[in-house]
Structure 1
Amino acid sequence: MNPIHSLIFDLDGTLLNTIADLAHSTNHALEKSGFPTHAIEAYKYFVGNGINKLFERALPEGERTQENIARIRSAFLTYYDAHNADYTAPYPGIPELLSQLQADGMALAVASNKYQRATEKLVRQYFPDIRFAAVFGQREGIPTKPDPTVVRDVLQVTGCTAEETLYVGDSGVDMQTAANGGLVSIGVTWGFRPRTELEECGARHIVDSPDEIRRLAVG
């Protein structure tokens, strides 16, 4: 493996456990529109492809219209903007990992399918001492992961090559994003998706603890 100079992290399920706040906010929006709600665990399989896809999956099969998705989105955004840190927290060992990697001189970035405003807010709130080179969420007119546009945008900011960069995430979408961008992927097992999904989607490495990420990065 080439010497590593930068790492790109997914946010939800990788750095932060956001699932309860995403679930409560979506359930609030569904309930407000008269649709059935779901258990928190179910949301681990609804998230990962941006919020419109989240709402499409959460709606009953016969109700997945653009109109309903827009209605749920509107109610969700109002609620989630106010409640996106009620239950959210970094995974154990993540703040320490980021501090160590920063001290090692690594360029660090976030690439998420969460909408940009919330991505920036949560990164700022939970990792105030980390100087991320780039924090990219879902941006208007930019395709979501697994499209590699966000990876190319990060590399442009960091000045690092794909060969010098590791991509860390918890889902098949993340592993595909890394492959599409020409990056070595690290799948984490503490997130929202099972190890089998990471394996099936070609994870180059699979780790069970943040310490293992640093070992892969710095040797």
Structure 2
Amino acid sequence: MKKLCIFDFDGTLFDSVEDVVICFNEALSEYGFPTLTRDEYIPCLGGNIDDIVSKVLGVNSNPQNIESFKKTYLDLYDSSKKEKTIPFPDSNEVLRNLQDNGILLAINSNRLTYSLNEFVEKFFSDIDFVAIEGHNINCPSKPDPFGVKNILNKTNLSSDEAFYIGDSITDIKTAQNADMDCVIVEWGYGDEKTFNHDYPLKVINEFSQLYELF
């Protein structure tokens, strides 16, 4: 019996890409590098911040540029209002109903933990997430199952008692590495390769379809 839902954040719980695009393009302009369109950013997302920055920089990617550009981007992002980052429709209601019916909820993301907490406190203050596992520079990031295993340890549950819910190939690989059933959502930043992957147990296009899992 399933008792736990572990959610990815960007593209699964929150529509966040527009604020990311704005801040990345501002940083690229500061360095004199070409800016990118929203569609060009989407394939860059899914890894940890170093992976994303490397892909965004493209031919300008090297260790020195990655470190300096990452700091510039994070400073811009942290100081921005992030007004375009909002939960996907019906997410709060569905999470609250799942919680009220005894389902445990957690978040596992490659976004930095302090950023996850910022948005959870702002938009999901009525949701009691049992664990929020974000990126830690001293620990492996997704698709390594490190964060998932931490969540399972905190809840004293096994992998077959949980669903991993995400929108990307990285999320599928994370679930595979954790030996956990995976559900993919279509409202995020995935593509046909993600939606047609043979590993996910289910692909859904509305938040309310999560009820069907139980």
Normalised by the size of structure 1, how large is the TM-score?
Answer: 0.94
Q: CA deviation at 1:84?
A: 5.8
Q: Structure 1: 5+ residue runs without aligned partners?
A: none
Structure 2 match to 1:67 = 64
Residues 37-65 of structure 1, C-alpha deviations (whole Å, 9 max, x = no match): 1112221111100111111111131x110
Structure 2 match to 1:28 = 26
Letter in 2 for 1:83: S
Q: CA deviation at 1:131?
A: 0.5
Q: Secondary structure of the equivalent of 2:188?
A: coil
- Please identify runs of 4+ aligned residues in structure 1 that moved more than 3 A: none
Q: CA deviation at 1:88?
A: 0.6
Q: Say whether residues 1:13 and 2:37 are aligned partners.
A: no
- Indicate the larger mover: 200-209 or 32-41: 200-209
Q: Secondary structure of the equivalent of 1:163?
A: helix
Percent sequence identity over aligned pairs:
30
- Indicate the larger mover: 22-31 or 9-18: 22-31
Residues 109-139 of structure 1, C-alpha deviations (whole Å, 9 max, x = no match): 0000011221221222121110000011101
Q: Say whether residues 1:194 and 2:191 are aligned partners.
A: yes
The partner residue of 2:88 within 70, 87, 91 is 91
Letter in 2 for 1:50: N
Structure 2 match to 1:150 = 147
Q: Say whether residues 1:213 and 2:210 are aligned partners.
A: yes
Structure 2 match to 1:105 = 102
Q: Secondary structure of the equivalent of 1:97?
A: helix
Q: CA deviation at 1:140?
A: 2.4
Q: CA deviation at 1:92?
A: 0.8
Q: CA deviation at 1:108?
A: 0.5
The partner residue of 1:49 within 44, 47, 50 is 47
Contact 2:27 2:73 in 1 (8 A): yes
Aligned-pair RMSD on alpha carbons? 1.2
Q: Structure 2: 5+ residue runs without aligned partners?
A: none
Q: CA deviation at 1:201?
A: 6.0
Q: Secondary structure of the equivalent of 2:196?
A: helix
Work out the CA distance in 2 between the residues paired with 1:195 and 1:131: 33
Work out the CA distance in 2 between the residues paired with 1:85 and 1:55: 19
Letter in 2 for 1:163: D
Letter in 2 for 1:111: N
Letter in 2 for 1:197: T
Size of the aligned set, in residue pairs, is 214
The partner residue of 2:128 within 128, 131, 138 is 131
